[in-house]
Each structure stands twice: as structure tokens, then as C-alpha cells.
């Protein structure tokens, strides 16, 4: 059987009449295709075209007419060269094409019908090419459809001598994705994208070749980068205001380097910043690079220079820089933008619209509290553009009184506490905060609305009225603020309805909510609900879960249930009918002791059931023969669960500077586990905590193609997960790329200073955080002073046993606080983090102690101590340097002697508890510390059962700047045989009230009490040595310095006092 092509991708005959018919029909096809719901362009790609070829009898118009009289007797479908004989497939193709074989109705040939059938088959999105043939050996028509299936991409491979990082960049940049339809146009677009990406990294002549493995559905991009292009010369053009040499200094580091767009842009940003400092706000800089000449051209369009002056009516500058504030900002490493610079920045944003400049200046001073300010603009020169603003400052006001009208949900004091605009009081902060500003009042009103919204009043209305009063002979007046409130009814969430959830049932989701209803209808609570639901899903690997809709329904539009009967008499008598109770139970709606068990009539045939706070819960409406029940306070939460994700492989990019296992050990436990943002962020935090990498560690995830069976699901405990609740969900494997920026691992520092323990001193410290590229920490510290010295060397392996770190330390010290005892110590310790704030430390140490002050006269002036120390600590303080909240608890138990060896034997227990709490938003902080210590067990003192006393280094002391202020250092407690005041029992209590004076100076009021004793029987029930005092602290970055004045409350015989203390750091 011979066929002639009727519809195909081949060219049409040149017959003029047929060309006209071709254009006509092709135009019709294009119009139909454009209007079709499924675009043929998206189905078959942009390279597919449709042509028409004639039957032999259709060489002219008359033959076409003859062809229309013929009947279609048979239809065949050939897909990818295979004749379709399966009945189900044939029926599907017949139904799609809508072409029928001639039957009793004698269905006749129609070109239009065949064209429509082709469009319908393309709409299936399963075929990339369709040809239609007819039998030319008989006057009956046999149609043959030859269809070629679309080729979908299953995998994309990138080959060539490329780094893994660059391969991932290409993979993320190209448009072709797994599952897309393969087309030559898309591939060509991706080739252009790859070439553009290569050029950004200095490879301007790459060779990019593509190939397609039809059997595997794999597209391969093979890339030969070729030789990179270097920047050998930089040419700077267009600069007039700034010398070429100065600009060249900012970009000369590019010379000799491979061209990289990112590095070039960094240099351009530095040049732009230089022009901004020279008051050129509209400078534009472009570059062009000639890879053959290796020439980088920097073209500068400087724009106009803008000079701004702000003066008063007498021509004096309005803004005066504070030398003191600039100095404090500099030593605190802060950049403070002056008011003049702030105004300049605002004006630059509207550099081309001078009509707004006066408004900007006026708004600035209005924000500063000036009312009625007059601003005039005067242009002094055109080149440069020199503008002078002449400003007549208006009156400033302070708040004299705030009145509240109509507030019932909150008291006046509760509302005033939320506001910054409040009456002036002594110690009410710096002067600028006391000046009234309408912008500040607007913010206060927003805060009050937020307060109401948290309580369930989202539609509260607040209006304000100002009554200003000028003060004679003063530029500062007074104002009264009157706030009027219109409080609507309170909105309460009584019930949550979940939809869209198939992985987690509604009951489980309800249990995850942080606060169960009833709660106010507030954005904060709803956001907490969203976060709790998202967290529950994310722990199961659904990291793309989202809340599609969260909607509060104040009152249902349809009754939640209806019961037959008329209950008017019972409801009017405030009786809830038994049938109604039964209906509530059947509908699983709450009707318990939480709600008032009566119905209040609110209208004709309408009653309201309310909770104990008079919030409407249900509305009852009596009809002719039934009672309808409407529900109030329903929160509808619609969840879009998305796909489930699993960790794939981890990749690290950047100059890490460490061995691969250092990185892999932080994330290896995650591979193959459910994707958890919390666990990934914890791993990122661990990487940062190594000290090897700078801040801003970034990560991205990429889909790993999954072909074949679904991967096994593993949870955090390394056990297989039952996938039955998730069988209808797609599990996707995501690779993670972590980008790291290496910081310098080594650092050193030197300093000179003074302290009470060493006198004048010098310090040298050397630290290396990446020894042998294994993230091992080495630290060397040496300190020498006129009264003592200290040196120590520490080597730490952070992963000695899993996450348990190990350290070896050698230490030598002889400080004034040690009372001339010289200590040499070697120790080994292991440290483990238990939970978020808790740590456990176990240490063995051996130390040699020698009291140099009595070495010549005392036979027992030296000893050795071999001890095992257990330390548990819990620290939730924030911030660490000067805490304002949190607690710190430490328990230390040290066992020395006996089977451990050493000449001294004892058991020492020490506890340290500290508590910090911020009492007010103003910055008032309460800080309290309690320290207890006891040495017992294996050795007693002289005078107690004939034992020998411990060397003073191992015993407790009290008195001085870090224990009980007001008394001389280490002067409290009994004296030992060497005349030093030490004891085996210790009690120290400190409390401070810390308050701001003005940044960065703070003040404190303190109370100290404590003492030491030899034994429990020495403790007498009398007043302990105590003191009160005041102090000033100066916070300069991480450095805290200050002075304290202490007054002893309890005089102690033979104990000298000390009132003034200079310090670096806090007492506790």
C-alpha cells in the first residue's frame, strides 16, 4: 500500500493555487493554535511547523472537490514506528482525533477536520511531530497518522575539566530541567547562557557542545573552557574631578589576575564610594573588556557635584558636629551618620526633582520636634551645584499631659507604658527623647493598636488631639495629648479547623499549637500557630510546606447544625434544652463548664451563648419548626504540604583551609536523613564555632534527580520510617552546597596595662585555630607584671571522641592574689556539650605549689596536688559580656590525693549561681550572684584533730573588688600559720542594680556580703561583713571599665577597709 503525505513537516509543492490554499489553512491553524487552551508551541517546541500536501487527485481545485466526496474507510496510528493495535490506545486516539471511519452516515473526507484532529493530538502533550498520510491506490481514503513521542529530559550531565562549584553554577543557570521537553531552541538558549557565565569568569572563548542520549533521556553539555583571559592593562576614561592615579589605586589589584566580573564590580563599588565622598551622587561607571588585547576600560560619567549648606537666618551653620560623640563612636567602632549626612542622603535620592528638596528638609526638622519651621532654598553656583538652605527653626514642645478617653480594655497606666510620648520626668533619658514629635506619636498609636490587637481588638479606632501651649521667652512649649478610643467587640478564637492535611492528622496538629483556644484573634497568635504547624511538618522533611490560607470567621454564615422543634419558652427562661446539649455532643462541639450554661436573648427569636468574659460563642436562631445554631470564633487553616525532602550529598565551596574530614564530620550524620532546617542550621553554627570561617556562611539546596524506586526514609535516630502515611507524596533528595569564607586562623596581640593583682603589666597572646589544618586550637599566653606573672599553653582537639573535645594545658602562675604562691600545673581535660546551654567537663591535673614568702622558714612551704575535677555548667545569659537576662549555674567537685597520688588530699566543692533580669525597657537590670565553697573529707587543719593545713592556694578567701567590696583584698576570715586569711568554707553574696545614665556610661548600686571560715563550728550567728556602694561603668565595645565606691556596714576588728576600686570588667 502506498501513502502520500497529507500533513507533515516537509515543504509544500509550488503550485500557485495550492500555495494560496496552504497560506490560508496554515493561517487558520496558527490562529486556532494560539487560542487553544494547550499551546502547541509549549507542546511541540518552537521548531515545529505544519505543512499541507495534496492527494494525487487534488492537483487542482476540482480534484480537491472530488476528494471531499470520498469516504474514510480505515484509520491507522503509528507511534515511533510501531503500528498501534491495542484497543485501549486506539480508542483513546480515536476519541482525541475525532475522525471516524465511514459508517451508515457516510462520514466524508474533510481537510479542516483532519487539521483539528492534529491540533487535538498535539494538545495531549505527548507527541513532538505528527504526519498524516492517505492511501493513493484507491478512491477510498485510508488515513495513516505517524506520531513521534516527545522526548523528556530525565537527567542533565555537565562534563569537561570544570570544578564542582562551577558545574553547579552552570546547572543552576541553565533553563533546561529534569522532566522538561527536549527542544533544540531551549538547548541553544542554554548554550548561550553557559558562554555568558564562562565569560564572567574570564573564559571568553569556550567550546560548548551538546548531545542527547535518547534511550536514557540524558542531555550532556561538554564544555572546554580554553585559556583564561588576564587583565594586563586598565584604561580609565571620563574622570575629571578625581586624578587617574587615585582611581587606579582602587583597582590596580586587578592587574595580572584572571578577569572576573565579581572582582571588577567590587572595584567599581570602591570608585563609586570615592565619588560619593567627593559629593558626586549621580556618578555612573561602566566597563568593557577586550579579551584579545586583555584591556579593561573603565568609563566614568561623573555627573554633577552637589554641595549643600544648612544655615540659620544669620548665616550660621545649623548642624554642629560633636567632637565627644564622634570620639566615642570611633572607639566603639561605630559609624554615626550626622544629621547633615542624613539630609544629604535623602536629597540625593531625588537629585533630579528639586521641587521636593524643601519638603525633605522641612520633614526632617519636623521629625526632630520642630513645629512651624520655615525653609528657603538659594542656589549659589551651578557648577558645582551649590545649594544653601536657609532655615528658621520653629518651636519644640514637651509633653505636659496625656489623656485617654473611651478605653475600657486597658487602664491609663497600661496604655502610657507603651508610649514614648509621655510627660517629662527626672531621669527620663536624654533630652532628644523627651521632645514631642508627631512622627513619634504616630508610632505610639501604632503600638497601642498592636496592643489592642494582641488582646483581640483588631478593629480598634484611635484618634488624637493636640493642645499646644507656648511658653513666653522660650523656644520650648508644652503640649497636651488627648487620645480617644472606640473599642469594638472582642474577637476570640474558640476552635481551629484544619484542611489540606493528609500527613499529620488534625488532632496531632492541634496538640502542636503553643497555646490552645480560646485565645484572642491576634496576628501574633496566628503567626505562632503557623510557625508551630510549619515546624511539625519540617521535622518530617516537608520543608516547603506553607500555610495556603488562614482565615478567621467571626460568625459562621451557615448553621453548624439544626434541631427540629420550637424551644422559645425554654430559651426565654434561660434554660438550655436537653436536645440542644445532645446535638452539641453529636456535632463534637464544645459546651462545657468553660461557658455560661445559659442563653441570653439578643433579638427576636435570637439568643447568644457566651463565655465567662461575655464573648459570643454560639448564636441560636429559632425558626418556624427548627432551631439553627451558628458558631463564633472559628479559625480555618488550609495547609499546602508539598513534597517530602531528604538530605542528599553535601558540597563545600570556597577556600576552606581545612582537611575535608573537618567539614564532613559536621554534616555526615545528616546524609540520608529527613531534611530538617533546624538540624542544618545547627551544623552551620557548629562550622562557625570552629573559628576557622568568617560570618555569613551560606547554603543552597539543589534537587538531586531520582530515577527508579523511592529512597528509603531515615529519621534522626537512624531508623527506617514507615512511609505509609506519605505513600502518595513524592520524596525528593536535595543536595546541599555550603559556601565558606576562610578567616585568618592565627592571631596575636600585645598590651600594656595595670591591675591590682600584678600592678603594671605587659601581655602577649598567640592563637592559632587551625593547627595542621585539623581545626586544632593552639593558644599561648604570657603576662608579666611587677607583682606577678602568668603563662599558659593549651592545645585543644575539638573532636577527640565524637563531639567530645580534649585539651592539654601547661600553666605557670605567681600572682599577687595567690599570696606569693608559685604554681606549676599540667592538665588534661575532656569537654562535652550536653544541651543548648549545658556543658560537662572532666579534668585531671597535677600541680606543684610553693609558697615563696615562707620558703626559708617554714618546713612545709611546698606541696603537690594530683586531682580529678568534675565541672557542670549551665549558661543562658545574654549577652555574655554584660548580661541583661538569663542565669548561670556552675558546680565544681575536685577530688585530690589518695589513689591519685600527690602530697595533699582533699575534696573541694564550689557552686556559683548568677541571675540577671531586665526590670524595665529603660534598661534597669538586676544582677545577683551567690558563691558557696567547702573543702572537706581527706585532710583537716592544724588545731582540728591534729591534721595539717592545706597550702593557701587551695583555700578560699574573701574581701576585695570581686568578693566583698569595702574591705582590703583577702583580709576577711581567720589567719593561718603563715598569717594569710584563708578558710575551708566560703559564702559570698553580691547584688547590683544597673541602670543607664547616657550611652555608653552606666551606673550601679550594689550590696556585698560574705566571709570564709575554717570549719562549720566556727560559723557564728552574727552579721556578716557587708557593704553598700555605687559605681560607674564605661562600655567601649567588648571592654568594660569603671570605678566603685564602697562603704562597709559592719566593722571587723583588725581588718582594714578600702573604699575606691578601679576595675576592668564586671564584678560578676
* Each residue's pLDDT tens digit, 238-252: 999 999 999 999 999
Share in percent of the chain as helix, strand, coil (round to 5)? 25, 40, 35
What distance in Å separates the CA atoms of residue 74 and residue 1059, rounded to the nearest whole number?
Answer: 114
Helices (H) and strands (E) in the chain, counts: 21, 47
Task: Look up residue 1 and give its three cell numbers.
Answer: 500500500
Strands (E), 281-382: 284-290, 295-301, 306-311, 370-371, 374-381
- The stretches of 482-558 forming alpha helices (DSSP H) are 506-512, 523-538
The answer to whether residue 750 sits within a structural domain is no
Domain ranges, residue 651:
644-739
Bigger pLDDT: 256 or 759?
256
pLDDT of residue 109: 67
pLDDT digits (tens, 9 = 90+) for 475-528: 888 999 999 999 988 999 999 999 999 999 999 999 999 998 889 999 889 999
The answer to whether residue 828 sits within a structural domain is no
Bigger pLDDT: 20 or 924?
924
Domain co-membership, 145 together with 70? yes
- The stretches of 201-280 forming alpha helices (DSSP H) are 244-251, 261-277
Is pLDDT of 1003 > 90? Answer: yes
Bigger pLDDT: 937 or 968?
968
User: Where is average pLDDT lowest: 104-118, 911-925, 993-1007?
Assistant: 104-118
pLDDT digits (tens, 9 = 90+) for 870-883: 999 999 999 888 89
Domain co-membership, 915 together with 1055? yes
The answer to whether residue 257 sits within a structural domain is yes
pLDDT of residue 222: 94
Domain co-membership, 49 together with 145? yes
pLDDT digits (tens, 9 = 90+) for 515-540: 988 899 998 899 999 999 999 999 99
pLDDT of residue 814: 86
pLDDT digits (tens, 9 = 90+) for 416-441: 989 989 886 654 444 445 788 888 99
The answer to whether residue 752 sits within a structural domain is no
Q: What phi and psi values does residue 162 have, to the nearest 5 degrees?
A: -125, 150
What distance in Å separates the CA atoms of residue 984 and residue 955, rounded to the nearest whole number?
Answer: 6
pLDDT of residue 483: 96
- Per mean pLDDT, which of 172-176, 277-281, 296-300, 1056-1060 is the most reliable? 296-300
Neighbours of 549 (CB within 10 A): 12
pLDDT digits (tens, 9 = 90+) for 629-648: 999 999 999 999 988 999 99
User: Helix, strand, or coil here: 879?
Assistant: coil
**CATH number for the domain harbouring residue 272:** 3.10.20.310
The answer to whether residue 1042 sits within a structural domain is yes
Domain co-membership, 914 together with 1045? yes
pLDDT of residue 201: 92
Mean pLDDT over 987-1001 rounds to: 90
* Ramachandran category for residue 705: left, alpha or beta (phi over 0 → left; psi -120 to 50 → alpha): beta
Is pLDDT of 858 > 80? Answer: no
Domain co-membership, 635 together with 558? yes
Contact yes or no for 1002/1027 (Cβ under 8 A):
no
User: Helix, strand, or coil here: 502?
Assistant: coil
Average pLDDT score, the chain: 83
Domain co-membership, 382 together with 464? no
Contact yes or no for 512/536 (Cβ under 8 A):
yes
Around 300, how many Cα atoms within 13 Å sit in the side-chain half-sphere? 24
The answer to whether residue 918 sits within a structural domain is yes
pLDDT digits (tens, 9 = 90+) for 699-733: 988 776 543 334 444 444 444 445 455 555 678 88
The residue written with cell numbers 556559683 in the block is 912
* Domain end point (choices 615, 640, 665): 640
Mean pLDDT over 292-307 rounds to: 93
Query: Who's near 1052: CB < 8 A, 6+ residues apart?
Result: 967, 972, 1025
DSSP state of 291: T
Mean pLDDT over 996-1024 rounds to: 89
pLDDT of residue 32: 38
What distance in Å separates the CA atoms of residue 303 and residue 275, rounded to the nearest whole number?
Answer: 10
Cis omega (within 30 of 0) for bond into 879: yes
pLDDT of residue 39: 35
Strands (E), 271-373: 284-290, 295-301, 306-311, 370-371
- The stretches of 368-437 forming alpha helices (DSSP H) are 412-417, 431-434
Task: Look up residue 744 and give its three cell numbers.
Answer: 585568618
The residue written with cell numbers 484544619 in the block is 498
Domain co-membership, 615 together with 535? yes
Is pLDDT of 824 > 90? Answer: yes
Query: What size, in residues, is the chain?
Result: 1068
pLDDT of residue 206: 94
Is pLDDT of 566 > 50? Answer: yes
Mean pLDDT over 761-775 rounds to: 90
* Domain end point (choices 326, 358, 392): 392
Is pLDDT of 544 > 60? Answer: yes
Task: Measure CA of the first residue to CA of the last residue in the chain; give whole Å.
Answer: 101
pLDDT of residue 710: 42
**Total structural domains in the chain?**
8
* Domain end point (choices 640, 657, 683): 640
Contact yes or no for 126/150 (Cβ under 8 A):
yes
Is pLDDT of 1023 > 50? Answer: yes
Query: Quick one: angle between helices 357-367 and 438-454, nearest 10?
Result: 60
pLDDT digits (tens, 9 = 90+) for 224-241: 999 999 999 999 999 999
Domain co-membership, 72 together with 17? yes
Handedness of CA 176, 180, 182, 186 (dihedral sign): negative
The answer to whether residue 819 sits within a structural domain is no
Contact yes or no for 534/551 (Cβ under 8 A):
no
The residue written with cell numbers 497606666 in the block is 413
- Residue 237's DSSP bridge partners are 299
The answer to whether residue 896 sits within a structural domain is no
Is pLDDT of 850 > 70? Answer: yes
Q: What phi and psi values does residue 876 have, to the nearest 5 degrees?
A: -115, 20
Mean pLDDT over 962-986 rounds to: 89
Domain co-membership, 1058 together with 922? yes
Domain co-membership, 478 together with 619? no
Mean pLDDT over 872-901 rounds to: 92
Domain co-membership, 1059 together with 917? yes
User: Where is average pLDDT lowest: 319-333, 466-480, 532-546, 981-995?
Assistant: 319-333
**CATH number for the domain harbouring residue 1028:** 2.40.160.50
Q: What is the pTM of this model?
A: 0.66
pLDDT of residue 64: 55
pLDDT of residue 493: 93
User: For residue 28, what pLDDT band results from cuts at 50, 70 and 90?
Assistant: very low
Domain co-membership, 375 together with 462? no
Contact yes or no for 1004/1019 (Cβ under 8 A):
no
Amino acid at each position: 500500500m502506498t501513502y502520500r503525505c497529507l500533513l507533515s513537516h516537509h515543504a509544500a509543492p509550488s503550485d500557485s493555487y495550492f500555495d494560496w490554499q496552504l497560506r490560508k489553512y496554515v493561517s487558520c491553524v496558527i490562529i486556532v493554535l494560539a487560542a487553544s487552551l494547550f499551546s502547541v508551541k509549549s507542546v511541540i517546541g518552537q521548531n515545529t511547523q505544519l505543512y499541507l500536501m495534496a492527494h494525487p487527485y487534488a492537483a487542482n481545485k476540482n480534484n480537491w472537490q472530488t476528494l471531499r466526496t470520498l469516504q474514510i474507510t480505515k484509520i491507522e496510528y503509528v507511534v515511533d514506528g510501531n503500528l498501534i493495535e491495542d484497543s485501549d490506545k486506539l480508542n483513546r486516539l480515536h476519541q482525541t482525533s475525532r475522525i471516524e471511519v465511514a459508517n451508515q452516515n457516510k462520514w466524508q473526507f474533510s481537510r479542516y477536520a483532519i487539521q483539528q484532529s492534529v491540533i487535538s493530538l498535539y494538545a495531549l502533550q505527548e507527541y513532538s511531530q505528527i504526519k498524516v498520510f492517505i492511501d493513493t491506490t484507491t478512491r477510498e481514503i485510508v488515513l495513516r497518522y505517524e506520531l513521534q513521542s516527545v522526548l523528556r529530559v530525565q537527567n542533565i550531565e555537565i562534563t569537561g575539566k570544570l570544578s564542582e562549584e562551577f558545574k553547579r553554577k552552570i546547572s543552576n543557570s541553565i533553563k533546561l530541567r529534569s522532566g522538561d521537553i527536549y527542544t533544540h531552541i531551549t538547548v541553544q538558549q542554554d548554550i548561550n547562557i553557559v558562554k555568558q557565565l564562562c565569560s564572567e569568569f574570564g573564559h571568553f572563548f569556550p567550546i560548548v557542545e551538546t548531545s542527547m542520549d535518547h534511550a536514557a533521556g540524558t542531555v550532556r553539555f561538554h564544555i572546554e573552557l580554553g585559556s583564561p583571559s588576564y587583565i594586563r592593562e586598565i584604561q580609565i576614561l571620563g574622570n575629571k574631578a578625581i586624578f587617574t592615579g587615585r582611581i587606579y589605586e582602587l583597582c590596580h589589584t586587578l592587574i595580572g589576575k584572571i578577569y572576573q566580573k565579581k572582582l571588577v564590580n567590587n572595584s567599581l563599588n570602591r570608585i563609586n564610594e570615592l565619588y560619593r565622598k567627593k559629593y558626586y551622587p549621580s556618578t555612573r561607571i561602566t566597563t568593557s573588556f577586550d579579551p584579545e588585547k586583555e584591556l579593561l576600560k573603565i568609563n566614568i560619567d561623573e555627573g554633577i557635584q552637589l554641595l549643600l549648606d544648612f544655615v540659620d537666618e544669620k548665616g550660621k551653620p545649623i548642624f554642629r558636629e560633636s567632637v565627644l560623640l564622634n570620639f566615642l563612636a570611633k572607639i566603639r567602632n561605630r559609624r554615626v551618620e550626622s544629621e547633615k549626612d542624613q539630609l544629604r542622603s535623602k536629597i540625593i535620592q531625588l537629585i533630579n526633582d528639586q521641587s521636593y528638596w524643601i519638603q525633605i528638609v522641612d520633614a526632617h526638622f519636623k521629625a526632630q520636634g520642630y513645629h512651624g519651621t520655615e525653609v528657603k532654598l538659594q542656589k549659589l553656583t551651578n557648577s558645582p551645584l551649590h545649594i544653601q538652605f536657609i532655615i528658621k527653626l520653629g518651636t519644640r514642645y514637651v509633653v505636659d499631659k496625656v489623656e485617654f478617653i473611651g478605653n475600657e480594655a486597658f487602664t491609663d497606666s497600661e496604655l502610657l507604658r507603651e508610649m514614648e510620648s509621655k510627660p517629662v520626668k527626672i531621669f527620663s533619658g536624654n533630652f532628644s527623647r523627651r521632645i514631642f514629635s508627631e512622627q513619634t506619636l504616630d508610632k505610639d498609636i501604632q503600638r497601642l493598636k498592636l496592643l489592642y490587637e494582641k488582646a483581640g481588638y483588631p478593629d480598634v479606632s484611635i484618634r488624637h488631639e493636640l493642645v499646644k501651649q507656648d511658653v513666653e521667652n522660650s523656644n520650648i512649649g508644652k503640649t497636651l495629648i488627648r487620645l480617644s478610643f472606640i473599642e469594638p467587640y472582642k474577637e476570640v478564637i474558640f476552635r481551629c479547623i484544619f484542611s489540606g492535611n493528609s500527613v499529620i492528622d488534625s488532632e496531632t496538629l492541634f496538640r502542636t499549637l503553643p497555646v490552645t483556644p480560646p485565645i484572642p484573634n491576634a496576628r501574633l497568635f496566628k503567626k505562632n500557630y503557623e510557625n508551630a504547624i510549619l515546624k511539625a511538618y519540617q521535622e518530617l522533611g516537608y520543608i516547603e510546606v506553607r500555610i495556603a490560607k488562614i482565615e478567621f470567621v467571626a460568625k459562621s454564615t451557615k448553621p453548624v447544625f439544626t434541631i427540629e422543634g420550637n424551644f422559645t419558652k425554654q430559651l426565654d427562661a434561660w434554660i438550655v434544652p436537653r436536645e440542644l446539649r445532645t446535638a452539641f455532643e453529636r456535632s463534637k462541639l464544645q459546651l462545657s463548664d468553660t461557658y455560661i450554661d445559659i442563653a441570653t436573648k439578643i433579638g427576636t427569636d435570637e439568643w447568644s451563648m457566651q463565655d465567662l468574659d461575655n464573648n459570643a460563642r454560639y448564636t441560636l436562631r429559632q425558626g418556624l419548626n427548627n432551631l439553627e445554631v451558628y458558631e463564633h470564633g472559628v479559625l480555618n487553616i488550609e495547609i499546602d504540604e508539598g513534597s517530602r525532602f531528604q538530605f542528599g550529598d553535601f558540597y563545600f565551596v570556597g577556600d576552606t583551609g581545612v582537611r575535608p574530614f573537618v567539614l564532613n564530620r559536621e554534616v555526615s550524620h545528616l546524609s540520608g536523613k529527613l531534611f530538617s532546617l533546624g538540624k542544618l542550621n545547627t551544623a552551620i553554627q557548629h562550622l562557625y564555632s570552629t573559628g576557622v570561617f568568617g560570618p555569613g556562611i551560606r547554603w543552597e539546596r539543589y534537587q538531586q534527580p531520582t530515577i527508579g524506586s523511592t529512597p528509603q526514609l531515615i529519621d534522626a535516630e537512624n531508623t527506617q520510617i514507615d512511609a505509609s502515611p506519605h505513600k502518595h507524596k513524592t520524596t525528593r533528595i536535595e543536595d546541599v552546597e555550603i559556601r565558606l569564607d576562610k578567616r585568618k586562623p592565627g592571631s596575636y596581640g600585645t598590651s600594656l596595662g595595670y591591675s591590682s593583682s600584678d600592678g603594671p603589666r605587659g601581655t602577649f597572646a598567640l592563637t592559632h585555630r587551625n593547627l595542621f589544618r585539623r581545626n586544632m586550637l593552639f593558644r599561648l599566653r604570657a603576662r608579666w607584671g611587677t607583682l606577678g606573672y602568668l603563662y599558659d599553653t593549651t592545645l585543644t582537639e575539638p573532636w577527640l571522641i565524637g563531639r567530645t573535645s580534649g585539651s592539654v594545658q601547661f600553666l605557670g602562675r605567681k600572682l599577687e592574689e595567690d599570696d606569693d604562691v608559685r604554681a606549676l600545673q599540667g592538665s588534661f581535660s575532656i569537654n562535652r556539650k550536653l544541651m543548648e546551654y549545658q556543658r560537662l567537663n572532666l579534668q585531671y591535673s597535677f600541680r606543684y605549689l610553693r609558697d615563696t614568702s615562707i620558703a626559708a622558714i617554714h618546713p612545709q612551704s611546698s606541696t603537690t596536688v594530683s586531682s580529678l575535677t568534675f565541672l557542670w555548667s549551665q549558661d543562658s545569659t545574654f549577652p555574655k559580656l554584660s548580661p541583661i537576662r538569663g542565669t548561670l549555674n556552675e558546680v565544681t567537685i575536685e577530688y585530690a590525693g589518695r589513689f591519685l597520688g600527690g602530697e595533699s588530699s582533699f575534696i573541694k566543692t564550689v557552686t556559683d549561681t548568677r541571675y540577671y533580669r531586665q526590670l524595665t525597657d529603660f534598661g534597669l537590670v538586676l544582677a545577683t550572684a551567690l558563691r558557696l565553697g567547702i573543702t572537706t573529707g581527706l585532710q583537716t587543719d592544724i588545731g582540728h584533730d591534729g591534721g595539717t593545713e592545706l597550702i593557701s592556694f587551695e583555700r578560699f578567701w574573701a574581701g576585695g573588688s570581686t568578693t566583698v567590696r569595702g574591705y582590703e583584698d583577702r583580709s576577711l576570715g581567720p589567719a593561718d600559720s603563715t598569717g594569710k586569711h584563708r578558710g575551708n568554707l566560703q559564702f559570698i553574696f553580691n547584688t547590683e542594680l544597673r541602670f543607664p545614665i547616657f550611652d555608653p556610661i552606666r551606673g550601679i548600686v550594689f550590696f556585698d556580703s560574705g566571709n570564709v571560715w575554717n570549719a562549720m563550728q566556727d560559723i557564728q550567728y552574727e552579721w556578716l561583713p557587708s557593704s553598700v556602694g555605687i559605681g560607674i561603668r564605661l562600655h567601649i565595645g567588648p571592654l568594660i571599665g569603671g570605678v566603685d565606691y564602697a562603704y562597709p556596714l559592719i566593722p571587723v576588728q583588725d581588718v582594714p577597709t578600702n573604699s575606691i576600686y578601679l576595675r576592668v570588667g564586671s564584678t560578676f
